Structure 1
Amino acid sequence: MTTVRGKFISLEGGEGAGKSTLLAGLRECIEGHGIELVLTREPGGTGIGEAVRSIVLDPLHHGLAAETELLLMFASRSQLVREVIEPALRAGRWVLCDRYVDASYAYQGGGRGQPVERIAELERWACDGVQPELTLLLDLPVAVGRARAAGRGDADRIEVEADAFFERVRASYRERAAAEPGRFRVIDASQTPAAVLLAATRALTPLFGEAPR
């Protein structure tokens, strides 16, 4: 019997958008439909990826060049695609990823000023055509998100950036969502966690109709 390919969902958003809370709710929802789910994150998700994460987010590495950061993100992503995401999808499992390629367009592109064409070329090379069926973008004003994130403990290398950086990140995310309305669902993350989860689960409904039971 041929295995039905799994579904790939990515979750995007700026600092303090509530991704961690939503991930827990989405996991319960998806597994409640009897679907085997792989939950992963970027950068990270593999042994190599987690090592890259420690480099990229360590505040001591403040001298990391924007080009180096971009390449490290795609090195981690390439490993994640080949070691985790693609094998899971082939086996019929769903994958829910905390950030994926759109994060590089937003953070390294919008935030750091890396050319979109450069990021797109890296995507073609590193991701082997693996793209989410659905991307949930948690959107909220930068000031609100940063206020939320301030209570989480010590800031990492990216979280210490100025508001202007995160305004560019948000703008880039919103531009990508507007350019690909068929893949993106933009969710107002200033709502209550329950309202955010409801909006997200409604966005998943078309995928459940195609899922094996």
Structure 2
Amino acid sequence: MTDDPTRPLTVPRAASAGGPGLFVTFEGGDGAGKTTQASMLEDWLGSRGHTVVRTREPGGTEVGVRIRDIVLHHRGHIAARAEALLYAADRAHHIETVVQPAIARGDVVIQDRYLDSSVAYQGAGRVLDADDIRTLSLWATGGLLPDLTVLLDLDPAAARRRLDADDKPFDRLEAEKSEFHARVRAGFLALAVAEPRRFLVLDATLPADELARHVRAAVFARLS
């Protein structure tokens, strides 16, 4: 089979997702460009006839929107374990009602954040046990792992400059101190080292078009 990523694609059974579709997640610190790359991938796949479900965590369902408002915009203190459980509750409902049905239909699911964000943010960032956080998310989702996880790696200082340039209010996690974001970045990179077959790690300072080419090639390889 040709390795030309511009050809129309066919979607075989996805081993990780356990259905005929494909499950792709984007991870990385705030400001790394996940939304931009997810949108570019959605457009590329859609132009080639694929049915794409674009979603996010938290907030990919009506229930998730309410949880997102709590975990990202609640003005008071939220205990670290309570925060982790809220993310897991959102994830359990989201996977059962949105992601798994899409995979079963043969759709390509493109998702902004998944369980790796919980391991990085609540595990490394909040200094909880990373294995406990991962086990919690795997239980909540019935063990579902993505077929491909794109990690956009960016130095926290550079990420903060991007966020500052957006001139938007910071949410609870974006407003955390630099030490927190350094731990989150280290947590993401450790996950990528542990699962190199699932992760594609990209330098988020590269031009968006160049990043998109790498992403398309990796998605094509898994669809082929």
TM-score tier after normalising by the smaller chain length: over 0.9
Structure 1 unaligned blocks of 5 or more? none
**Aligned equivalents of 1:124 and 1:25: distance in 2?**
28
**Aligned equivalents of 2:81 and 2:137: distance in 1?**
14
Equivalent of 1:128, from 123, 138, 142? 142
- Which secondary structure state, in structure 2, belongs to the residue aligned with residue 30 of structure 1? helix
**Aligned equivalents of 2:195 and 2:169: distance in 1?**
35
Equivalent of 1:162, from 173, 177, 185? 177
**2:69 corresponding residue in structure 1:** 54
**2:29 corresponding residue in structure 1:** 14
Aligned residues: 206
- Which secondary structure state, in structure 2, belongs to the residue aligned with residue 10 of structure 1? strand
Provide the TM-score with structure 2 as the length reference.
Answer: 0.89
Equivalent of 2:194, from 174, 179, 183? 179
- Answer with 90-99 or 28-37: which moved more: 28-37
**Aligned equivalents of 2:162 and 2:93: distance in 1?**
31
**Aligned equivalents of 1:92 and 1:202: distance in 2?**
20
**1:88 corresponding residue in structure 2:** 102
Contact 2:22 2:223 (C-alpha < 8 Å) held by counterparts: no
Calculate the aligned-residue CA RMSD, in Å. 1.2
Structure 1 residue 182: Cα displacement: 0.3
Following TM superposition, the consecutive aligned residue runs of length 4 or more in structure 1 with deviations greater than 2 angstroms are none
**Aligned equivalents of 2:27 and 2:157: distance in 1?**
17
Provide the TM-score with structure 1 as the length reference.
Answer: 0.93
- Which secondary structure state, in structure 2, belongs to the residue aligned with residue 146 of structure 1? helix
**Aligned equivalents of 2:183 and 2:97: distance in 1?**
32
**1:207 corresponding residue in structure 2:** 222
Structure 1 residue 155: Cα displacement: 0.5
- Which secondary structure state, in structure 2, belongs to the residue aligned with residue 20 of structure 1? helix
Letter in 2 for 1:43: P
Equivalent of 2:42, from 3, 6, 27? 27
**Aligned equivalents of 2:72 and 2:106: distance in 1?**
33
1:110 aligns with 2:124: yes
